[in-house]
Structure 1
Amino acid sequence: MLTKKPLASLVALAVAGLCGQAQAAVTFGDTELTYGGYIKLDTMWTDTSDGQIPTGIGRDFYVPSLTPVGGEGESATFDAHARQSRFFFKTATALDNGKKINGTIEFDMMATPDGDERVTNGYSPEIRHAFLTYDNWLMGQTWSTFMDVASLPDSLDFIGNTDGAIFVRQAQVRYTNGGWQVALENPETTVTPNTGGARIVTDDNSVPDVVVKYNHTASWGSLAFAVMARQLSIESATLDDTTNGYAASFSGKYNVSATDDIRFTVNSGEGIGRYIGLNATNDAVIDATGQLEAIQATGYALAYKHSWDNKWRSSFIYSALDIDNDAELTGLAVTDSTSSYAVNLIYQAASKLMFGVEVRHATREVLSGAEGDLNRVQFSAKYDF
């Protein structure tokens, strides 16, 4: 049932949307609905030393594993899109047991395959977040508990410190008590065939990924420490094996001043593959006997955000990923390491309006020793509503 003045509430909601108010709210019965989001334009000039990145996500934002290696250099490319634009709805409902349940659902168009650049540039929305919270419980899809959002840099790129960062959204059940969190999350295993080849995504796991995390927040910033245990599995007509994966993450944000901060992350483990660097390495490789062997990888990133005045700010970002491949198992064409440097200059024209430019240099090396470079200049405009 609606509130006593549903029409007035709906009109208020519509007017708030037209005026661009962040998280405008309206009440329907026992439920309060809020919404918000942003519109963002990204334009990118990209030059790669060893070939061209195919049309797709590697042209829309930085994906470490897609930097070409061993090809012929081509002309630079220019791309523009508004696919990162997003919107969300949140609800808070008073229940008849005296408690409250909250819900969040958010969409963007960033990585959907539908659409092209010929005529309409239409792209399908995809779910980013869809979860509920009740008491100390979270249930649904959101950031992995193994990830620390606070350590992500202030970047125009979709992620910013991609090489060494944990970046995963997935369905989960999470329990929080003070600074402690325990979660059971949707599993998935990515595998490198013996001696190399196309990635195998198995979908054969029988138990969830388990994450335990501790968060500490203080006036000076925040720290997060997390550990994860995983089952890595493959089952087919010719292969049937399971092994274990383990990983740890330490990350944080230190406030140098009221406007400046340092953000960092260090992540390492065996079988950490799909969690780090946008799956730049797989979780495991198949050995000569058809058994799975977890792949060790370590990523790290550091960013410093500095405000020049109340309108202008910059971030200086370094990120890297090192992978411990066994050449006899993976072959020589797999990614062995990636790294990137980035610096930006952002102008906050108003509280809800931002313009910025970012320069990035990235390098990818494969196990044979061959490497390729990426240079990118990105301009962005963003309106928060």
Structure 2
Amino acid sequence: MTTKQRNSRRLLATAVLVALAAPGMAFAQTAKEAELEARVAQLEAQIQTLLQGQQQQQESISQAQTRLDQVQVAQPAAAPLQSKPILANPDAVFTYGGFIKFDAMVTDTSDGAIAEGSAGRLFYVPSTIPVTANGAEPDSDPYTDFHAAFSRFWFAADHTTEGGDKFRAYIEADMYGGGSANLGNEVSTNTHGVTLRQAFVTWNSWLAGQTWSNFQDVAALPEAVDFVGVTEGTTFVRQAQIRYTSGPFSVALENPHTTVSNITTAARNNAGGSDSLPDLTARYVMKGDWGHFSAAGLLRQLKSGDETATGAAVSLSGRFNIGANDDIRWMANYGSGIGRYLGFGLGADSVVDANGNLHAQDGAGGFVAWRHAFNGKLRSNLMYSVAEFDNDRSLVGWGPGSFAATERAQSFHANLIYSPFPKLDIGAEIGWGQRELEDNRKGDLKRIQTTVKYTF
């Protein structure tokens, strides 16, 4: 027992003694003194017992805590729920984005309505403009279409290794996949299927997968309310390929597919399937504050059955900035076997003559567009686009198919696009298009289109 504890005990005992003895101080040295001393001794013993019990309790708690710490240190860590990270590449950086696009349009075609379910009801496709067989123009009323089929989303994963190698995986889809069974009509649900647009991987200078053709200059396309706008005059193909890029130069081997027109029977075969060599494309791009200029080349083997032909084409394009608020965007294309790459396959790549021989078909097309920004929120675009194909009548004479083949298509578009908030576009566009056949019959299209687009 410490000195402090003994002093405390004596002080407490003395206090108790005084409290008990005070009433009888006048009778000191009485017979009860012995009894009082006995009671003080008893209280002192009880206090001593309480203090010892408290000390023992504190020691027991300290010993138990020490044993618990020893057990925790000795016990092995619990096994994780999984032995590997959830992500195959935990260092990857994931990004995503896309937009929601609502389109509403009123269309008036001179030679009857474009068929329901046709792509031409969703956006401007010159090959779908009706042209009547006898040249008569049937009396048809304008028709209205609403849809959100071109809404889009994309997802990307980027990773750079410790050695500096750069990798990217990219996938993109929209809703332009058509309906599902009986649900994809305008009676009830207007269902559209998800469509794969792009899916590729890049590592350093290499690309493998599906993306825009190396023959196409996406950066030269004007801003249209329509899905494309300058459809007939632009190269427009997405397909699987393997590409190598070194600075401004790129070269690619791309998926081959030959479209064939039989002028004698007026039949068009887009199925392909017998191609054996990939399409070869190459591109060179120059960029600066003034804009950009691009030159691309295409070399193809065209094949139908056992028959083959060679196709070759060139595409020049670019954008020239004129001050801070204006630019000119343009493209010019020419070649043999260019049909599938131009204007959504407006013309065929090749023609089979009366003897079954395959010939590459010549085609040319281009567009020019002027963009003007009135201010940071309002801008406009004026566009003209044209394409023309050489349906060589000398191959088969004046067969019925030569009359039905498309010789020329052209269109004008003008729009206003307003962005009241960042990434929200509200636009309106008027357009006129015309398709002309080899026998000079023509069909016209007039369209007013509006859109609401939010990019995220």
Using the TM superposition, give the Cα deviation of residue 98 of structure 1 relative to its aligned residue in structure 2, in angstroms. 4.2
Using the TM superposition, give the Cα deviation of residue 61 of structure 1 relative to its aligned residue in structure 2, in angstroms. 0.2
Using the TM superposition, give the Cα deviation of residue 93 of structure 1 relative to its aligned residue in structure 2, in angstroms. 2.1
Using the TM superposition, give the Cα deviation of residue 113 of structure 1 relative to its aligned residue in structure 2, in angstroms. 5.4
Question: What is aligned with 1:354?
Answer: 425
Aligned equivalents of 1:365, 1:301: Cα separation in 2: 18
Aligned equivalents of 1:111, 1:263: Cα separation in 2: 30
Using the TM superposition, give the Cα deviation of residue 194 of structure 1 relative to its aligned residue in structure 2, in angstroms. 3.6
Residue correspondences, number: 357
Q: For 1:65, what is the secondary structure of its paired residue?
A: helix
Aligned equivalents of 2:177, 2:405: Cα separation in 1: 23
What percent identity do the matched residue pairs reach?
A: 44
Provide, for residues 251-297 of structure 1, a one-character-per-residue CA deviation record: whole Å limited to 9, x for no partner.
Answer: 00001122311000000110000100110101001001101111101
Is 2:129 aligned against 1:67? Answer: yes
Cα gap change, 1:44/1:196 in structure 2, threshold over 3 Å: closer, same or farther?
A: farther
Q: For 1:157, what is the secondary structure of its paired residue?
A: coil
Question: What is aligned with 1:7?
Answer: none
Aligned equivalents of 1:168, 1:215: Cα separation in 2: 19
Aligned equivalents of 1:105, 1:35: Cα separation in 2: 10
Task: Say whether the 8 Å CA contact 1:153–1:303 is kept in structure 2.
Answer: yes
Q: Which moved more, 1:320-329 or 1:298-307?
A: 320-329
Question: What is aligned with 2:288?
Answer: 218
| Structure-to-structure mapping, 1:126-275, within 5 angstroms | 126-200=195-269, 201-235=271-305, 240-275=306-341
Question: What is aligned with 1:342?
Answer: 413
Aligned equivalents of 1:311, 1:264: Cα separation in 2: 24
User: Which ranges of structure 2 fall in alignment gaps of 5 or more residues?
Assistant: 1-86
Q: For 1:199, what is the secondary structure of its paired residue?
A: strand
Q: For 1:332, what is the secondary structure of its paired residue?
A: helix
Which structure has the highest strand share of the two?
1
| Structure-to-structure mapping, 1:102-141, within 5 angstroms | 102-112=168-178, 114=180, 115-141=184-210
TM-score by length of 1: 0.90
Using the TM superposition, give the Cα deviation of residue 150 of structure 1 relative to its aligned residue in structure 2, in angstroms. 1.1
| Structure-to-structure mapping, 1:286-297, within 5 angstroms | 286-297=352-363
User: Which ranges of structure 1 fall in alignment gaps of 5 or more residues?
Assistant: 1-25
Is 2:94 aligned against 1:33? Answer: yes
Provide, for residues 116-168 of structure 1, a one-character-per-residue CA deviation record: whole Å limited to 9, x for no partner.
Answer: 21111111101101011101001100000000011101101111111110000
Task: Say whether the 8 Å CA contact 2:325–2:374 is kept in structure 1.
Answer: no
Using the TM superposition, give the Cα deviation of residue 230 of structure 1 relative to its aligned residue in structure 2, in angstroms. 0.4
Structure 1 counterpart of 2:410, one-letter code: S
TM-score by length of 2: 0.76
Question: What is aligned with 2:61?
Answer: none
Task: Say whether the 8 Å CA contact 2:174–2:194 is kept in structure 1.
Answer: yes
Q: For 1:158, what is the secondary structure of its paired residue?
A: coil
Question: What is aligned with 1:99?
Answer: 165
Which structure has the highest helix share of the two?
2
Which of 109, 118, 135 is the matching residue for 1:48?
109
Task: Say whether the 8 Å CA contact 1:48–1:73 is kept in structure 2.
Answer: no
Structure 1 counterpart of 2:244, one-letter code: Y
Task: Say whether the 8 Å CA contact 1:102–1:132 is kept in structure 2.
Answer: yes
Provide, for residues 51-82 of structure 1, a one-character-per-residue CA deviation record: whole Å limited to 9, x for no partner.
Answer: 11012210000001111112523111100000
Provide, for residues 2-61 of structure 1, a one-character-per-residue CA deviation record: whole Å limited to 9, x for no partner.
Answer: xxxxxxxxxxxxxxxxxxxxxxxx997111110000000000100000111012210000
Task: Say whether the 8 Å CA contact 1:196–1:333 is kept in structure 2.
Answer: no
Task: Say whether the 8 Å CA contact 2:158–2:166 is kept in structure 1.
Answer: yes
